[in-house]
Amino acid sequence: MATFESLKWLTRFLEETPGDSEVGGKSRQVPNACWSRVKPSPPPSPELQMWSAEMGLKLGLERPDGRVLGGEMVTAGMDPYSQRYGGHQFGSWANQLGDGRAITLGELQLEDEVVELQLKGAGHTPYSRFADGKAVLRSSLREFLCSEAMHHLGVPTTRALSLVTTGEQVVRDVLYNGNPAPEDGAVVCRVAPSFLRFGSYQIHTANGDHETLQALVSHTLRHHFPNHSAEDDVSRVTWLSHIAEQTAVMISHWMRVGFVHGVMNTDNMSIHGLTIDYGPYGWLEDYNPGWTPNTTDAGRSRYCYGQQPQIGAWNVARLLEAMVPLMDEPELLHDVLESYTVKFAQLHNTMWANKLGFQNWIEDDETLVRDLNALLQRVETDMTIFFRLLSSIETPSIELLEDAFYDPLTVPKDAWGEWLLRWWERTGQSPNRQTMLENNPKYVLRNWMAQLAIDAAEEGDFSVAEELHALLKDPYSEQPQFETMWFQKRPEWARHRVGCSMLSCSS
C-alpha cells in the first residue's frame, strides 16, 4: 500500500484548459477560465473519523491520519484547484457558480483509470461568494454514508474515501430562517473520474467564450470519452447522446430505489451520469411522488421524486444549448433529447418489470403499474418495505404486506386484493423472486437513520455511522442482525424533525 507522496499524480485538466492567473484570493468573477488554483485552509485539529477501506484499496492507499484529507497539508505531486462553472438553479440561470467549498487535490493515475480526489469543506475559494468554504459534520456524514450506500445499491455515483473532523466550529443556519449556530466542522474526500458537470460547459457559452468551451470539450473527449470525437456534427451528437443516456440510467436507478436528489440544478449534473453533490437528499418513506426533502423547493416541488425524469430531460436540453456554438447544424441536437426520452422509457419499463417480478414487459403492464402507483398513494405506505415484502409473499394476500402501511386499519383491502390477484395472474403465480430481491433493496439510507448517526457523531461517537456504513454495503441481503433496528418505517419522532423531513441546501 502507498502513501500520498508515492502516488502518481497528474495535472491534465490544469495543463489543457485555460485557468485563473491568480492563486486563491477573495471571491470574484474569473472570466475565460475553467479553474483557479487554491490552497486548502489548514484546520486546527484534523482527525480521521470515517474511512472507506474499499476505496482505499482501489487507490492503493493505506489508512492515513487526517492531515492531508483534512486540508492541513499538500504533498508532492498535488496541484490543488477549484473548478469554475455556472448553472441553472431552480430553473433560472445563475451565471458563475463554481466550487464554493470544494478543492480538488489532483488527478490520480491508477492501474486502469484516472480518478480525481476532491476535498469538500476545506476552505474558501474564489467561487465561495459570501460563504467560508467550510462544511459541517452533519452534511459531511450524510455525504460520506450516502455516496457509499448508493454505490452498493447499484446507483451510479461519486464515491467517498474519508471523513475528517477539523476541530473547529463552523456557523450555519440549518433552515435559512435566521437562526445561525456553531457546528462541528468536517471535510469529506470524494472520488470520481472527474467533477465536470453540465454547468462547466454552460458558463462559457453564456459568456460568449467559445474558445474556452472548445478547449474544455477537447479535453473532455480526449480523457473521459476516448471512444467518441467531436470532429463533425454527427460525432458530437453521438457523444452527447451517450451523456444523455447515461443521465437516464442514473435517474432510472433513483426512481427504482426511491431516492430524491433534492437539488437537480444543472451545476449538480455530472457529465458521467453520476449522482453528485449530496445535499438535501432523501428516500421516500411514504410513497408520495410529489415529495421533496428540500425546504427551499417546498413551494414549487420542482425537484420532487415524480418530476426527476422530466427535470433530467430539461437539464440535458440546457447542456445541448451550451453546445450550439460548436455545431454547424444545431437542429441535429434534437436527436440527443430524443435519445434521452427513448432510453428512459425503456429503462423505466424494465425497472417496473424487475420490481414486480415479470419475465419481460408487455404493453398491458402499463395499466397494472399505473393502478399500483395510485393504490400506493391511497394511504401512507412505506415504499422500501412494501416492495421488499412483495418480493417474497407466497400468496396474493394484503395481510402479508401490512407492515408496509403506517395505519393498517385504513388500508383499502378490497382494492388491494383485486390488484394483487391481477399481479399474481400476470406472473403466472410465480413471480421472478430473484430478480425482485435484486431490484428491491431491503436497506436504504433513510434520513432518520442518517440523523441517528449524526446525533451520535456530534457527541463523539461514530459507532452508529460505522454500523450504517457496514449495513449499507450489502443492501439487498437480509442481514437479520440489523433487521429490528433498521428495517422499519419512519419513527414518529422523525416525522417533522429537522434533518429527517426538513432539509436545506446546507444539509
Residue 297: name the closest of 91, 28, 39 by CA: 91
Between the CA of residue 255 and those of 181, 245, 251, 284, 338, what are the distances in Å?
A: 35, 15, 6, 10, 20
Which amino acid, one-letter code, is at 21?
A: S
Cell numbers describing residue 283: 428516500
Scan for cell 435559512, then name that residue: 176
Looking at residue 65, its amino acid is: D
Which residue, among 9, 49, 77, has the nearest Cα to 466 in the 3D structure? 49
* Contact of 319 with 201, CB cutoff 8 Å: yes
Phi and psi torsions of 222, nearest 5°: -60, -40
**Considering 267, 277, 297, 382, which one is annotated as catalytic?**
267
* Cα three-residue angle 220-151-149, rounded to 5 degrees: 135
| CA of residue 466 relative to chain centroid, distance | 20
- The alpha carbon of 182 is separated from its chain's Cα centroid by a whole number of angstroms, namely 27
Shortest CA distance to 415 belongs to which of 377, 364, 361, 362?
Answer: 377
Angle at 113 between CA 219 and CA 157, to 5 degrees: 85
* Residue 270 DSSP class: B
**Calpha distance 429→80 (Å, rounded):** 59
CA 76, CA 286: separation in Å to the nearest integer?
A: 50
Residue whose C-alpha cell is 445563475: 94
Residues in the chain, total: 507
CA dihedral 164, 165, 167, 172 (to 10 degrees): 130
Does 184 participate in catalysis according to the annotation?
A: no
Using alpha carbons, select from 380, 439, 475, 507 the residue that is nearest to residue 152: 475
Q: Which residues are catalytic?
A: 267
